[in-house]
């Protein structure tokens, strides 16, 4: 028997497959401009006893191929708790939104906050800033972490911040210092969300931005706690959906 969860995000699509022994396989791919086509390609030739969709595109998935849906909040809570049983707080910074979820010792959602109205402080924000600084996204995080000083970025609006970065480059500021300022701005915004919901150890950091070494370090310093980074932080929601599929 096989059970699957698919997280249709704005930047990536993650598919997790579980068998009856909980052996897991997964695939992560870019969403592209035709997410439904990408989903169908991922699922081509595969059959599941039950498939559950979550994420930004879960309703489209349900209309076309998924047996049911669950919210991202529930999917991340299930996935993070199963991967790391000591988890009490989940931070997910994805392509277009940031989520903070508080769960109790049984894995039930106690509280959450979600920023999904703009790209400020998300993976897309960092992608745009990296491009403005002529970095690859991984390269920017490493470079920022080694910067000797930071340059403050005043705007968190992607459009205004990109313009601000361009002006700083024109003034001769070193790009690694600008990159550190960008990461610190995202860190401040994220820490505010975490503090509003409440930071209880252990904290699991999920989503594509969890791979950013500078964000890992800045958040750890700001919060004063170690962060648990899953082996593949981009599949936590899909894994939770797959577990939900198996639960029936």
pLDDT digits (tens, 9 = 90+) for 92-111: 998 888 999 999 999 999 99
The reported pLDDT for the residue numbered 118 is 67
Q: At what angle do helices 213-223 and 175-197 cross, to 10 degrees?
A: 50
HEC assignment per residue over 14-58: EEEEEECCCCEEEEEEECCCCHHHHHHHHHCCCCCCEEEEECCCH
The reported pLDDT for the residue numbered 116 is 63
- For β-strands 98-103 and 50-54, DSSP reports them as unpaired
Residuewise pLDDT in 10s, the chain (248 residues): 999 999 999 889 999 999 999 899 999 999 999 999 999 999 999 999 999 999 989 999 999 999 999 999 999 999 999 999 999 999 999 888 899 999 999 999 999 999 866 667 788 899 999 999 999 988 999 999 999 999 998 888 888 889 999 999 999 999 999 999 999 999 999 999 999 999 999 999 999 999 999 999 999 999 999 999 999 999 999 999 999 999 98
Q: Is 196 exposed, middle or buried (0-12, 13-18, 19+ CB in 10 A)?
A: exposed
The reported pLDDT for the residue numbered 61 is 96
The reported pLDDT for the residue numbered 190 is 94
**Confidence (pTM):** 0.92
Distances, alpha carbon 183 to alpha carbons 1, 11, 111, 114, 229, in Å: 44, 20, 26, 19, 18
Q: Of all helices (H) and strands (E), which one includes residue 91?
A: strand 89-93
The reported pLDDT for the residue numbered 165 is 93
Place of tokens 């024109």: 170
Give how far the C-alpha of residue 11 lies from the chain's centroid of Cα atoms, to the nearest Å: 10
The reported pLDDT for the residue numbered 29 is 96
């Amino acid at each position: 028997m096989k059970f699957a969860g698919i997280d249709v995000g704005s930047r990536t699509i993650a598919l997790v497959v579980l068998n009856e022994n909980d052996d897991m396989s997964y695939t992560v791919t870019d969403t592209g401009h035709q997410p439904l086509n990408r989903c169908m390609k991922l699922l081509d030739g595969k059959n599941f006893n039950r498939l559950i969709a979550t994420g930004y595109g879960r309703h489209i998935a349900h209309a076309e191929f998924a047996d049911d849906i669950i919210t991202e909040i529930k999917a991340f809570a299930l996935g993070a708790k199963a991967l790391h049983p000591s988890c009490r707080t989940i931070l997910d910074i994805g392509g277009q939104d940031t989520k903070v979820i508080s769960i109790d010792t049984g894995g039930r959602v106690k509280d959450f906050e979600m920023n999904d109205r703009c790209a400020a402080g998300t993976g897309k924000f960092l992608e745009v800033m990296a491009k403005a600084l002529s970095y690859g996204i991984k390269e920017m995080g490493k470079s920022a972490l080694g910067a000797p000083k930071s340059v403050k970025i005043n705007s968190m609006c992607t459009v205004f911040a990109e313009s601000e970065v361009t002006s700083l480059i024109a003034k001769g500021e070193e790009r690694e210092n600008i990159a550190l300022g960008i990461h610190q701005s995202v860190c401040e915004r994220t820490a505010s969300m975490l503090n509003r919901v409440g930071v209880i150890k252990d904290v699991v950091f999920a989503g594509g931005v969890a791979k950013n070494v500078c964000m890992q370090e800045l958040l750890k310093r700001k919060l004063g706690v170690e962060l648990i980074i899953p082996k593949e932080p981009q599949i936590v929601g899909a894994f939770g959906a797959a577990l939900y599929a198996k639960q029936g």
